[in-house]
């Protein structure tokens, strides 16, 4: 029996399907995060973990002393004459020197390990932040802050106001939002407000009141923590219109015509110490009635262009947690 010669040694793992399985598992996780985090993500995790484990086990066979399948040299092409035997790779001028048998970790093994390790570190540095930024925000529960819109007395009963405010005053103009607010008077002894978002339910353009906006009566209110509320009386007698694609809504925000698929979103509200506090936004399929008597068909906040009821809603992916 002859000992394997230096030139016969294989340092790279043989062909394997485990990396493909691992990549498929990761892809499954990413797709699952969008489509169905509760079902598809666990399946992807199982595939990635199993294939990753088998891949690592396969790749470290040689280091663990397990026998490695020998790879046959390529065949084909014109055959050399068998009269002159080929020079073995460990002979002749180009042959590598024999490793020192007493050397536990030959230099080529060290270089191979260092290259793989270095590649893994670089890959991790590039991949982990990108994946983190992609996935973490969906689970961070960013929520919506409570926004103080000022004293109730500023909202004349029955009057609509174009109301501008900062969702996050510390973030400045990027957090500027607009809502159409009407004080509906008292309902069962409590103040009633209609607060409609100006985000079009088609693709999110800012809808405008179909009626006069009384800019000359504009009022700016400065509140603590950098909050500034701008209130402009308006008479949206014709409802609201979207300048982007012509979507039209009635005064309660119901879709009347055009491409929007549902009514305008609304905000919850609370009254705290005589101030109107803006709460969480929500989506609305439609509204029956008006003002404080309105019956609102309310749903969890959904992206523009998405149905919230009817069979069409199943065409859209589940919303990530928010
Ligand atoms: S974004 Fe409003 S109609 Fe298209």
**Domain-located, residue 27:** no
Q: What is the pLDDT of residues 268-322, one digit of tens each?
A: 999 999 999 999 999 999 999 988 889 999 998 888 888 888 877 777 665 554 4
Q: Is the CB of 202 inside a 6 Å radius of any atom of ligand 1?
A: yes
Judged by average pLDDT, the poorest of 61-70, 97-106, 230-239 is 97-106
| Ligand 1 centroid from CA 126, angstroms | 38
| Ligand 1 centroid from CA 202, angstroms | 5
**Domain-located, residue 179:** yes
Of 220, 240, 242, residue with least CA distance to 160: 240
**Domain-located, residue 305:** yes
* Closest residue to atom 4 of ligand 1, CA basis: 245
Number of domains within the chain: 1
Mean pLDDT of 175-198: 93
Global pTM exceeds 0.85: no
User: What confidence score (pLDDT) does residue 103 get?
Assistant: 63
Percent of the chain whose predicted confidence (pLDDT) is above 90: 46
**Domain-located, residue 153:** yes
- Within 30-145, strands assigned E span none
Rg (CA), the chain: 34
Q: Which residues does 242 contact at the CB level (< 8 Å), separation at least 6? A: 200, 202, 205, 206, 207, 208, 248, 249, 258, 260
User: What confidence score (pLDDT) does residue 317 get?
Assistant: 62
Q: Is 314 left (phi over 0), alpha (psi -120 to 50) or beta?
A: alpha
* Residue predicted with more confidence, 7 or 223: 223
CB-based contacts of 285-290 (< 8 A; 24+ apart in sequence): 285/309, 285/310, 286/254, 286/255, 286/262, 287/252, 287/253, 287/254, 287/263, 289/252, 290/251, 290/252
Whether the per-residue pLDDT at 206 is higher than 50: the answer is yes
Domain that holds residue 247: 147-315
Q: Is the CB of 258 inside a 6 Å radius of any atom of ligand 1?
A: yes
Q: Which residues does 272 contact at the CB level (< 8 Å), separation at least 6? A: 148
CB-based contacts of 305-310 (< 8 A; 24+ apart in sequence): 305/201, 305/202, 305/203, 305/261, 306/261, 307/261, 307/262, 308/262, 308/283, 308/284, 309/262, 309/285, 310/285
Whether the per-residue pLDDT at 205 is higher than 60: the answer is yes
Q: Is the dihedral of CA 26, 29, 33, 35 positive or negative?
A: positive
**Domain-located, residue 97:** no
| Shortest-distance atom of ligand 1 to CA 259 | 3
Mean pLDDT of 108-135: 86
Are 167 and 145 contacting, i.e. CB atoms less than 8 angstroms apart?
yes
Alpha-carbon distance 205 to 243, whole Å?
8
Q: Which residues does 22 contact at the CB level (< 8 Å), separation at least 6? A: 47, 48, 51, 52, 55
Whether the per-residue pLDDT at 255 is higher than 60: the answer is yes
Phi (first) and psi of residue 205, to 5 degrees: -65, 160
Angle between helices 18-35 and 107-139 (to 10 degrees): 10
Mean pLDDT of 248-262: 95
* Closest residue to atom 1 of ligand 1, CA basis: 203
User: What confidence score (pLDDT) does residue 322 get?
Assistant: 43
Alpha-carbon distance 200 to 295, whole Å?
21
**Domain-located, residue 160:** yes
Whether the per-residue pLDDT at 4 is higher than 90: the answer is no
**Domain-located, residue 295:** yes
Q: What is the pLDDT of residues 23-49, one digit of tens each?
A: 998 988 888 877 777 788 899 999 999
* Residue predicted with more confidence, 313 or 185: 185
Alpha-carbon distance 135 to 117, whole Å?
26
Angle between helices 40-59 and 18-35 (to 10 degrees): 160
**Domain-located, residue 71:** no
Mean pLDDT of 98-109: 68
- For residue 105, name the pLDDT band (cuts at 50, 70, 90): low
Are 120 and 200 contacting, i.e. CB atoms less than 8 angstroms apart?
no
Q: Is the CB of 245 inside a 6 Å radius of any atom of ligand 1?
A: yes
Which of 198, 200, 240 most suits a substitution to test ligand 1, by most atoms within 8 Å of the C-beta? Answer: 200
Tokens of 289: 């009635």
Whether the per-residue pLDDT at 3 is higher than 50: the answer is no
| Shortest-distance atom of ligand 1 to CA 205 | 1
Residue 235 sits in a domain whose CATH number is: 2.102.10.10
Q: What is the pLDDT of residues 140-179, one digit of tens each?
A: 666 788 999 999 999 999 999 999 999 999 888 899 999 9
Query: What Å distances lie between residue 5 and 8, 63, 107, 112, CA to CA?
Result: 5, 18, 17, 19
Tokens of 18: 């485990």
């Amino acid at each position: 029996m002859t000992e394997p010669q230096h030139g016969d040694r294989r340092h790279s793992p043989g062909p394997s399907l485990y990396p493909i399985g691992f990549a498929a598992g990761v892809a499954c996780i990413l797709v699952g995060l969008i489509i169905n985090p509760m079902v598809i993500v666990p399946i992807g995790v199982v595939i990635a973990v199993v294939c990753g484990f088998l891949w690592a086990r396969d790749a470290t066979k040689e280091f663990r002393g397990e026998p490695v399948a020998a790879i046959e040299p390529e065949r084909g092409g014109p055959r050399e004459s068998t009269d002159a035997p080929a020079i073995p790779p460990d002979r002749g001028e180009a042959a590598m020197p024999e490793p020192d048998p007493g050397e536990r970790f030959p230099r080529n093994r060290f270089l191979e390990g260092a290259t793989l390790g270095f590649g893994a570190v670089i890959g991790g540095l590039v991949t982990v932040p990108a994946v983190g930024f992609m996935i973490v925000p969906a689970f961070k529960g960013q929520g919506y802050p409570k926004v103080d819109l000022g004293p109730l007395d500023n909202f004349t009963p029955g009057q609509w106001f174009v109301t501008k405010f900062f969702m996050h005053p510390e973030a400045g103009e990027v957090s500027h939002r607009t809502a159409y607010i009407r004080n509906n008077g008292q309902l069962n002894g409590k103040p009633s407000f209609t607060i409609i978002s100006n985000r079009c339910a088609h693709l999110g353009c800012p809808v405008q009141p179909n009626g006069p906006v009384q800019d000359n009566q504009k009022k700016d209110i400065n509140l603590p923590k950098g909050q500034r509320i701008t209130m402009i009386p308006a008479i949206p007698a014709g409802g609201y219109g979207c300048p982007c694609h012509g979507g039209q809504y009635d005064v309660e925000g119901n879709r009347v015509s055009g491409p929007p698929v549902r009514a305008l979103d609304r905000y919850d509200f609370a009254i705290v110490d005589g101030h109107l506090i803006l709460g969480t936004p929500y989506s609305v399929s439609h509204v029956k009635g008006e003002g404080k008597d309105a019956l609102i068909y309310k749903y969890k906040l959904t992206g523009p262009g998405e149905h919230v009821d009817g069979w069409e809603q199943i065409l859209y992916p589940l919303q990530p947690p928010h």
